[in-house]
Every structure is written in structure tokens, then in C-alpha cells.
Structure 1
């Protein structure tokens, strides 16, 4: 099964740690993910980036990371946020959908249509 990053939203960085995470995440906008293994690797890579940057900036509020499906849909959401005043202050959101099918142009298909479907 293939996946596609169809939505990536980042928010204004409030410190250098957030900026590092946002700069890293921006390179994943509109990418095609070839299979489930690659999707899992992407999730773990982003989690590792958030954890590494948390370790580099111990005086800032700890960034939290989540990844999972959105309510009964075929969309997977990856996000990072900081809890501030009891509410999440979002750093980034990535929405990933399953690719339904792939379209590929073929001249043979067009020739068959012109001949009325004869092969």
C-alpha cells in the first residue's frame, strides 16, 4: 500500500527548538511513501527528531509527539505539540492518506479507444 503526504501545516516557531523541528519537517511536504515499512520509518524518524531536539534544549517545555489514524478515517496524522496552560500548542501537523490508485498515460489505451475497443 502506498501513502501520500497531502497536508503539512506548521505554526510560527516560539523558540529555536521549534524552529529546528519545523525546518526538518518541511522537507516532507507532498511526498509519496512507497509502503507500510517506509511509513513506519517516517514516523520513527520524526519521533527521534523531536526527542533529539528535546534533549538539546532541556530548558524549554518538552515537545510531545503523536502518530495515528484520525477518527474512523483512512487518514494518518502525525503531530508535535507542547502543553501550555492545559492546552496543546501545536508545532506541526502532517496528514497522510492511502493512495487509492495510480494513473499512468499509455498510448496503447488511446489507440484502442480510437478503434472502438478492438484489439
Structure 2
């Protein structure tokens, strides 16, 4: 099954750590993901990036990473946020959906339609 990153929302960075995460995650906007293994790898890669940047900036509040299905499992949402004063402050939201089908132009189909219409 193929997946597609159809929605990426980033929020104004409040510090250098957030900026690093946002700059990294923006390269995945509108990307096709070949299969479920690649989707799992992407989830782990983003988690590792968030954890690495947290480690590089130990004095700042830690970003928390989540990846979970939403909309009855049709969409996978990956997000990072910081809990500030009891409320989550979102860094980014990345929504990934399953590709239903792929359209490919085929001249043979058009030729057959013309031949079928003339008979």
C-alpha cells in the first residue's frame, strides 16, 4: 500500500530547537511513501530527530512526539508538541493518508474507445 503526506502544518518556532525540527520535517511535504515499512521508518526517523534535538538543547522544555491513527485509521497523524503551563503547544502536525488508487494515462484505452464508438 502506498501512502501520501497530504498535510503538513508547522507553527512559528519559539526557539532554535523548534526551528531545527520544523526545518527538518518540511522536507516531507507532499511526499509519497512507498509502503508500510517505509511509513514505520519515517515515524521512527522523526521520533529520533525530535529526541536528538531535545538532547542538543537540554535547558529547553522537551518536545514530545506522537504518531497515532485518526479518522477510523484512514489517516496517520504525526505531531510534536511541548507542554507549557499544562497545555500543549504544537510544533508541527503531519497527516499521512493511504493512496486509494493511481491514475495513469494510456493511449491504448483512448484508441479502443474511438474504435468502439465508430462500430
How would you bin the TM-score normalised by the shorter chain?
over 0.9
1:68 Cα shift? 1.1
Indicate the larger mover: 94-103 or 71-80.
71-80
Query: What does residue 67 of structure 2 align with?
Result: 67
Query: What does residue 35 of structure 1 align with?
Result: 35
* Root mean square deviation, CA, Å: 1.2
Q: SS at the partner of 2:110?
A: helix
Q: SS at the partner of 1:7?
A: strand
The runs of 5 or more residues in structure 1 that have no matched partner are none
1:85 Cα shift? 1.0
1:72 Cα shift? 1.5
1:33 Cα shift? 0.2
Q: SS at the partner of 1:115?
A: helix
Cα separation, 1, equivalents of 2:77 and 2:108: 39
Cα separation, 2, equivalents of 1:31 and 1:53: 23
1:111 and 2:111 correspond: yes
The runs of 5 or more residues in structure 2 that have no matched partner are none
TM-score (norm 1): 0.96
TM-score (norm 2): 0.96
Cα separation, 1, equivalents of 2:71 and 2:107: 41
Q: Deviations over 1:18-48 (max 9, x none)?
A: 0000000000000000000000000000000
Q: Which runs of 4+ in 1 moved over 3 A?
A: none
1:97 and 2:97 correspond: yes
Cα separation, 1, equivalents of 2:5 and 2:23: 16
Name the count of aligned residue pairs: 118
